[in-house]
Amino acid sequence: MKKINTVKKIKLFSILLLAALLLLSLLLFLSGCSKSSTSKTDTSLSEAQTSQSGSNTENQATTENINSSSSSTSTTVQAAITSEQVPSDIKKMITKADVYFNDGLYAEAVSAYRSIKPAVEKNTSISDSLKQEIINSYSKNFEASKTITETARMHFGNAMQLEYEKRINEAIKELEEALKIYPKYQDAIDKLDSIKSLYKLK
């Protein structure tokens, strides 16, 4: 009888021990989930704060850009108000040269542009920085005009040599090349007409 009681006690003890272990493991599991949840919440809060901080930084940067932009605009406006005026005689010279350039009269444009620089440099009423700005404003057209006239003259020179050598078809091609580049090149127009008329060509 005692043996049976002992066995029952051992079984009961084992069941209680297992129950206690299960309960303990369940508590540990729940505790772990709770910590994970808290950690996630903390992480989310941390991310939210970082995001908010980033957003604040972006807002600050945007505000600074707007302030910088408006400052730049007001500086530009101020600069425009206080800037020097280009003398009217120099404006007229540039306008005249530009008209020649736009009309395809490149030799005349070169001559007109070339006369501007000495006039600008001699003018004592404007600053050196404005002088440089004026010169820069027409230099692209001036250089283009020079390149066109020089290239067209090279073809014209070749045509003269070829005509001298009685290589008339080649001379005509050179004149036509000159006129492709510089259609209002009067010397090339006249020479081409002269050769065609002289050799009865169309």
Q: What is the pLDDT of residues 165-191, one digit of tens each?
A: 999 999 999 999 999 999 999 999 999
What average pLDDT does range 7-22 have in this prediction? 67
pTM (two decimals):
0.57
Tell whether the model's pLDDT for residue 124 goes beyond 80: yes
Please state the domain extents for the chain: 1-83, 88-198
Retrieve residue 29's tokens. Answer: 């599991």
- Mean pLDDT (the chain, rounded): 76
Q: Are 153 and 170 in contact (CB under 8 A)?
A: no
- Give tens-digit pLDDT for 20-53: 666 666 666 676 654 444 444 444 444 444 444 4
Residues 82 and 126: their CA atoms lie apart, in Å, by: 13
Q: Mean per-residue pLDDT for 114-128?
A: 93
Distances (CA, A) of 47 to 3, 36, 39, 53, 54: 65, 16, 12, 9, 10
- On whether the CB atoms of residues 192 and 175 are closer than 8 A, the answer is yes
